[in-house]
Every structure is written in structure tokens, then in C-alpha cells.
Structure 1
Amino acid sequence: MLDPETYAPEHFLWSFEDGVATITLNRPDRKNPLTFESYAELRDLFRGLVYARSVQAVIVTGAGGNFCSGGDVHEIIGPLVEMEMPGLLDFTRMTGDLVKAMRDCPQPVIAAVDGICVGAGAIMAMASDLRIATPAAKTAFLFNRVGLAGCDMGACAILPRLIGQGRASELLFLGRSMSAEEGERWGFYNRLVEADALMSAAKAWASRIAAGPNFANAMTKNQLNTEWDMGLHTAIEAEAQAQAICMQTKDFERAYRAFAARETPVFEGD
């Protein structure tokens, strides 16, 4: 079971404080590309977070003024050209499993994006629950520029839900870069801040989430995921059941008693 206090990844940086975990992609000389190994290690980490109750929010960011330049050209794309179909399918399923793991972990995930955020990096930002960027952020789903379809790692399912079908189609067919201003205007980015305020803004949100009712937050994330393919009546019933479960938590009672006493509730996640 993952212990956030002692966890020591091999292919990226990790820190943990006051319920907030920070993942930093750390190959700044190459703008933080992913490799076969870092994909797998990130996937396994997010799977492990399902059972890491002391982790209440996660920040994903990159070192050196960039978020992530996608899959490493020499360490991933070169070998893929030489692979047969079974190996290619193993790889594409593994990368998709990273997105599944990010969506399935109960903790809200915040992407803190500066500079280059392209390919698989754009996917990781997309798969996060909240996104904060700097004006220098350049985001591109550039798969068609390397001869691939835009339907990579869930892009055709998630991106239209964030920015709309037409805008998603524009980015996926043209492979062009989305500016930070466009990203905020279209709803991809929740907020833009200057580079020197990026991590403090992300940590402020993460700390606020970590101080909240964590069981209920996990339920919210679960419902956001599962209601994508539900009809309205089914979704309302699912939410009724989810909310009734949350009403049995001690956090719900704590909030009521704090309100009655005109105090700020202290949530404990149970």
C-alpha cells in the first residue's frame, strides 16, 4: 500500500505535506517528456492513491518553466515505429490506463501548467479535475501532426466535454496550439496566474480541498465520472443515493453542529 510519507518515485519528483501531494515532472532539459517507464510509474501511483487516505488532493506540475512535452521522441516514438501491432496495443492501452487511473483516484487532481503542455502532457492536464495556467502556457493535442489520430488517451471523450465539440474538433484536426487566453475563455483552464504565483495558487486550491469533506469530495468526483453516460433520471437517482450516503458521515454532522455554534467546521473525512 502506498505510503505518501515514504514514497520515492524513480522518474519524477514527489512531495507530501498537510494532505497535499505534489507530482513534478522533472526532465527540464527536454521540457519534461514522458517515457515508457514514467508512464507506467505515474499509472501505478494514481492507482495506489485509491488507498492512500491521508492524501486529500494532488497537484501535477512540471519543472523548469514547462509542464510536459509529451512522449519522448527518441525514447518512445522511435521504438514505436519498430513495433508490431501487439506491442503497439500494449503501449496505447498503458497510456490510456494512466488517464483511467487519474480519473478513478478519489482525490481531486489540479494541473499547474506553465509553458509547453502538448501531446500526452495536454492529456494529463485534460484528465485533471482542475487546471491553473500561466499566460505562457501553450497547449496542443498535436497527434495528427505526427500522423496519428486525435483520439488518444480519451481526448475525443473528455475534451469536448470541457470546451465543446466544435472547439475540440478544431484542436484535434488542426493540431494547433491553444493559447492560455483561449484555454481560459473556452473553459479548459479554470484560472490564469503569473508564473511566480502558479504553485502558490495551485497549493491554495489544494489546501482548501484538503481541508474540506474528503469523503464527500471523492463522491463528487465519482459522480462526475459516472454520470457522463447516464440519462437525467438515472443521474438524479444516482445523486440521491450518493447524497444520502454522505448524510451518514460524521463530517455532515460536524458541519451542522459548527453552523449551529457559528463556528467553522473541521472536517475529518469520515
Structure 2
Amino acid sequence: MDEQPITIEARGAIEVVSLNRPDRLNAMNEPLIAALLDYFTALRDRAAVRVVVLRAEGRAFCAGLDLAGWPRDPDAGPVHQVWRTQRMIAAVMQAMRRCPQPIIAAAQGPACGGGFSLLLASDVRYGAPDLRMNAAYIKIGLGGCDMGASYFLPRLVGSSVASEYLLTGRFMSAEKAAACGLVSEIVPHEELLPKALSLAAEMLQTSPMGLRLTKDALNLNIDAGSMEHAFALEDRQQVMLSGTADTVEARAAFFEKRDAVWGDA
């Protein structure tokens, strides 16, 4: 069992979260998932953290589920055991979407199964040239739709491309991911973290509340029932934000030709 399955590095208002099981290709065992779930759940009450960068140590982002990494309860049946594992991993993806901080993923090598879903649940993705992603479940006799893949992938790349990969379990290359907009840019290994940190720093130039509510609106409007719903949410957010101290400061900074000084979100 790893003593520290993830590491967390604070860089001002940015936190860099690294999967830290490189000897196991950062495969998901119970301690890793428990650590990610605790971290992303707690972010809802940590306004001082404004942006998260998610990365991984070693040559792989995440090779999927570590089948040997989940202790079995001798008193639980196989269905109960698998259900517990499923729900615990799924809760991580849900916590990533619900936390108000944008998550920038920087990934290299294999990102399989649940590792693929960690990328899909992030807000921005950068990939190294060797990034290879797949929904591996259908290759082992299960369905191809798991860990949020059937929710996230069609919304990110469209139903045809999503069906192509979910129905086969084939690997998506970095080039294909960039071509269909799943990753923002292909970046050399050594530049992955600097690239993510540069984008995070750019996000920090925005107002704290504006940044949080922009992620909120983006996620809600993916599922908006109509164009009218989407406009209504945007209108309410803008009216609410116009009455904040951040907006007063932004206007003053604009007219005084200086950088804005933000308060807490």
C-alpha cells in the first residue's frame, strides 16, 4: 500500500495534484481513489484554492483499475464488492465536476479506463505526444460505458466519435484527441506542467467569483433543456456578479490601467 498515493503542491492559489504510483502506472487502488475523493470533495470549502492542475508521476497518466489494489470483504458477495468499487471511483469524477475550481489535466502515456475518465472529468486537457486513451472496459467483457465515459465523451467529441471508441475499446491517440477537440494542445513531456501552470496563472487574473461561476455555468448548460434555459442561467449570473466587489475593482483597474487586486471568492 502506498503511503502517499497522491502528492499536493501549493503554488499560491494553484494546487498541483500528482498521481503518485509510478511503479504501478498510477493504476487506481483503494488508497489512491480515497485520497482523490477526499481532496476533490474538500475543495468545495477551500476558496483560497482557485485552480487545480492534475498530473501524474512516471511514464503513464493512469493505467486504469488496479485489480489487486482493493481488499476484499469476506462477508460481502461479489456484487456488493464490485458495487462499492464502482461507486467510490464514480464519486471522484462527480466531485471533480462539482468542485468550483477549474481542473487542468496534463497527461502522458496510457490513460485507460478510469484514467481516461479522470481526463474527461477535467475542464481543460493538455496531452504529451505519447498520450493514449481508451475506455478499456469492453475489452474485458464489460460494457464500454463506465466511469462517466458515456456522459462526458459524447458531449466533448460528438456521438459518432464517442461511439467509435466506446463500442470498440480502441485507443485514441494524442493527434486524434487534438483533432476532435478533446485535448487543447499536444505538448512535449517537459513542457506539460509549465503549460498547465501558465494557463492556471492566466485564470488567476480573472475575478474569483467570476471564475467559479463560469465553470458552474459551463457544466450546467451542457445539460440545459433548451437555449432559453442556457440564456436564463447566464443572465442571472451576470446580474448577480455585476453587484460584487470584484466588478467594482475590475472597472476601477480598467480605467486606471492597472492589474486588478482581487479579494476572496
TM range (shorter): over 0.9
Are 1:63 and 2:57 counterparts? yes
Q: Secondary structure of 2:100's partner?
A: coil
1:12-37 Cα offsets, whole Å, 9 max, x none, are 11111111111111111121111122
Query: One-letter code of the match for 2:242?
Result: M
Aligned to 1:190: 184
Following the alignment from structure 2 to structure 1, what is the Cα–Cα distance between the partners of residues 170 and 237? 40
Of 5, 12, 16, the match for 2:6: 12
Letter in 1 for 2:87: R
| 1:83 Cα deviation from its structure 2 partner | 4.6
Query: Where does 1:92-241 land on structure 2 (aligned, <5 Å)?
Result: 92-230=86-224, 231-241=226-236
Q: Distance in 1 between matches of 2:213 and 2:28?
A: 30
The Cα shift of 1:264 comes to 2.6
**TM-score after normalising by structure 2:** 0.93
Match of 1:253 in 2: 248
Q: Structure 1: which amino acid aligns with 2:227? A: L
Cα displacement (A) at 1:10: 3.4
Q: Which amino acid aligns with 1:267?
A: W
Retained in 2: the 8 A contact 1:14–1:21? yes
Partner Cα distance (1:124, 1:55) in 2: 20
Work out the CA distance in 2 between the residues paired with 1:243 and 1:205. Answer: 23
The normalised TM-score by structure 1 is 0.91
Q: Give the deviation of 1:262 after TM superposition.
A: 2.1
> Which ranges in structure 1 are unaligned for 5 or more consecutive residues?
1-8
Question: One-letter code of the match for 2:53?
Answer: I
Match of 2:68, SS? helix
Asked if 1:37 corresponds to 2:9, the answer is no
AA at the equivalent of 1:260: F
- 1:6 corresponds in structure 2 to none
Compute the RMSD of aligned alpha carbons. Answer: 1.8
Give how far 1:191 is off: 1.0
Aligned residues: 260
* Equivalent of residue 24 in structure 1, options 12, 18, 24: 18
SS in structure 1 opposite 2:152?
helix
Q: Tell me, yes or no, if the aligned pair for 1:251 and 1:269 is still in contact at 8 Å.
A: no
Moved more, 18-27 or 67-76: 67-76
Rounded to whole Å, the distance in 1 between the matches of 2:165 and 2:261 is 43
Give the secondary structure class of the aligned counterpart of 2:18. strand
Matched letter for residue 90 of structure 1: R
Give, as a single letter, the amino acid of the residue that structure 2 aligns with 1:151: C
Q: Residue 13 of structure 1 aligns to a residue in which SS?
A: strand
Instruction: Report percent identity of matched pairs.
Output: 31
Q: Please tell me whether the aligned partners of residues 135 and 145 of structure 2 are also in contact (alpha carbons under 8 angstroms).
A: no
* Runs of 4 or more above 4 Å deviation: none
Q: Deviations over 1:41-70 (max 9, x none)?
A: 211210100001111100111101221111
Rounded to whole Å, the distance in 1 between the matches of 2:152 and 2:84 is 22
Q: Output the amino acid matched with 1:221.
A: K
1:102-144 Cα distance to aligned partner (Å, 9 max, x none): 0000000011001111111110011000001111111111110
Letter in 1 for 2:249: R
**8 A Cα contact 2:129 2:188, kept in partner:** yes
Q: 1:268 to 1:65 in 2, by over 3 A?
A: farther
